Chain A
Amino acid sequence: MEYNNPLEKTYELEIDTQAREHLKPITTWARIIALIGFINVGLSVLRFFMQGPNSGPGIFAGLFGTFIISGAIMVVLYIFLLRFANSTAAGVNTENQDEFNYGISNLKLYFKTIGILLIIGISLVALMIVFGILGALMRG
């Protein structure tokens, strides 16, 4: 038996021919961006280990920590983007609603992660400014 929750909003929108025409290049380019992103992370790892050991051990450890965190974040973002591209394209091609929904959920995760990272980044910069002003006031 199908149960319809009256609180659930219903949409009368379809993934029609025009929407499909837009979704195809979206998924193609999203896939390209994700794959190139993975290659870029790989190249960055290569460059890091080629240039990193030239600096002192303390600096290298600090740089390594930062590098690992930023690299992991980038990989997670590209995974979301790749999943969005693959699942949405598969959903559109095979008319599979579940696959399509899973793809769109990954687009949501992709934008949400970027948004949260932006909030964290801005908060850190704001904190640094506040501590900088406090430090300057305490010194002078």
Chain B
Amino acid sequence: MEQNTTQSLFGLKVDYESGSFFREATKWARFIAIVYFVLFVLAVSLIIFAGEFASGVFEQLVDQGVLPVSVAEFKAGLYTIVFVGGLIGLTMLALLYRFASLTRQGLETNRQASFNDGLKSLKYFFIISGVLTVLGIVISFIGTVAAFFI
């Protein structure tokens, strides 16, 4: 007798349908990771270049007393933000790439350990994304509340 919904006696498995969905998901995840990595390198180079370029402008602003920080402090702050942001960004990209590579490897070689390691990387990717999203909403909420009073 045929059933409309599949409820395997042996639990869930990666069947043809879910396997092809996983394959396509990993294909796009790898593409996203590579493209973002290239964009990331470009953005970091641009920020460092702009920081060097902007330091002249900031020197003038500091001399005029417009900015309460020194140029050295400004540069240190900028590089710290770039470094921390870069570290988080690179970690996320590496996790996404690992998910794509290991899950695909698991599917192609039928190796359960690779497949599970891929899912593990996706888990850490989503945890970091989630924490950043929570921080983002807190900042967004403060912004909205501030907009009421400005």
Contact = CB atoms under 8 A, between A and B. Distances in A.
Given A13-B110, A15-B13, A98-B5, A43 B144 contact: yes
Interface string B7-32: 11011111111111110110011011
Interface stretch (A25-33, A65-73, A130-138): A25-33
Contact of B24 (A22, A26, A94, A112): A112
Interface stretch (B47-55, B58-66, B83-91, B127-135): B127-135
Interface string B121-148: 0110011011001101100110110011
B112 interface: yes
Contact of B5 (A16, A26, A96): A96
Contacts of B110: 11-13
Given A9-B16, A13-B112, A22 B120 contact: yes
A13 B6 CA distance: 17
A16 B112 contact: yes
A89 interface: no
Interface of B: 5-8, 10-22, 24-25, 28-29, 31-32, 35-36, 106-107, 110, 112, 115-116, 119-120, 122-123, 126-127, 129-130, 133-134, 136-137, 140-141, 143-144, 147-148
Given A26-B123, A95-B8, A104-B21, 16 more contacts: A9-B16, A10-B16, A13-B14, A13-B112, A19-B119, A29-B129, A91-B12, A97-B8, A98-B6, A101-B18, A111-B29, A112-B28, A114-B28, A114-B32, A115-B28, A118-B36
11 contacts: A9-B16, A10-B16, A19-B119, A23-B123, A44-B140, A97-B8, A108-B24, A110-B25, A112-B25, A118-B36, A122-B35
